[in-house]
């Protein structure tokens, strides 16, 4: 039978080895991105998009949401909450973008191009989906 001290020491070493694999990279926010042109059989909502990616893009600097809104132009169609293609979160702020690039900011309907969105995310993260 193994001594409790020895068992405790081995368990501590095991936990120290496993710890780096469970800690996620620190960042200022996250971004989930699905190609705008992707056709889905089922609707994609703000809650669903986070389950479509194994790992979100980790934002390394603040201001992605402000920069996306600044790059957006007036939208020609309303935001489609069943066609979400991007979800960006910074602190308590969140922004959803649909398959046409439409976003709703405080009741104002705007649209951003997929290329502009990807450029902004490339500057602020190491996101493979934005390349």
High-pLDDT (> 90) share of the chain, %: 62
Say if 2 falls within a structural domain.
no
Distances in whole angstroms, Cα of residue 118 to Cα of each of 2, 31, 42, 101: 56, 11, 24, 12
* pTM for this prediction: 0.77
* Domain ranges, residue 88: 26-130
Say if 44 falls within a structural domain.
yes
Say if 9 falls within a structural domain.
no
Is residue 4's pLDDT more than 90?
no
Q: What is the largest CA-CA distance in the chain?
A: 73
pLDDT of residue 97: 97
Average pLDDT over residues 36-52: 89
> Based on the structure, what is the number of domains in the chain?
1
- Give the count of beta carbons closer than 10 Å to the beta carbon of residue 38: 11
Predicted confidence (pLDDT) per residue in 70-111, tens digit: 999 999 999 999 999 999 999 999 999 999 999 999 999 999
Q: Which residues contact 69 (CB under 8 A, 6 or more apart)?
A: 95, 103, 105, 110
What confidence category does residue 5 fall into, taking pLDDT thresholds of 50, 70 and 90?
low
User: What is the DSSP code (8-state) at residue 73?
Assistant: E
Say if 19 falls within a structural domain.
no
- Reference 130, options 45, 58, 27; nearest CA is 58
Q: Which residues contact 90 (CB under 8 A, 6 or more apart)?
A: 28, 29, 59, 62, 63, 64, 65
CA distance 67 to 119: 10
Task: Tell me which of 6-15, 49-58, 73-82 is least confident.
Answer: 6-15
Say if 70 falls within a structural domain.
yes
């Amino acid at each position: 039978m193994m001594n409790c001290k020895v068992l405790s020491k081995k368990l501590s070493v095991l936990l120290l080895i496993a710890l780096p694999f469970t800690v996620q990279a620190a960042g200022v926010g996250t971004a989930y991105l699905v190609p705008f042109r992707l056709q889905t059989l089922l609707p994609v909502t703000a809650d669903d998009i986070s389950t479509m990616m194994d790992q979100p893009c980790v934002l390394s600097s603040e201001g992605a949401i402000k920069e996306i809104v600044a790059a957006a132009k007036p939208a020609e169609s309303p935001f489609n909450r069943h066609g979400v293609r991007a979800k960006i979160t910074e602190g308590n702020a969140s922004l959803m973008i649909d398959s046409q690039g439409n976003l709703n900011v405080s009741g104002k309907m705007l649209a951003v191009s997929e290329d502009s969105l990807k450029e902004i995310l490339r500057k602020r993260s190491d996101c493979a989906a934005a390349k």
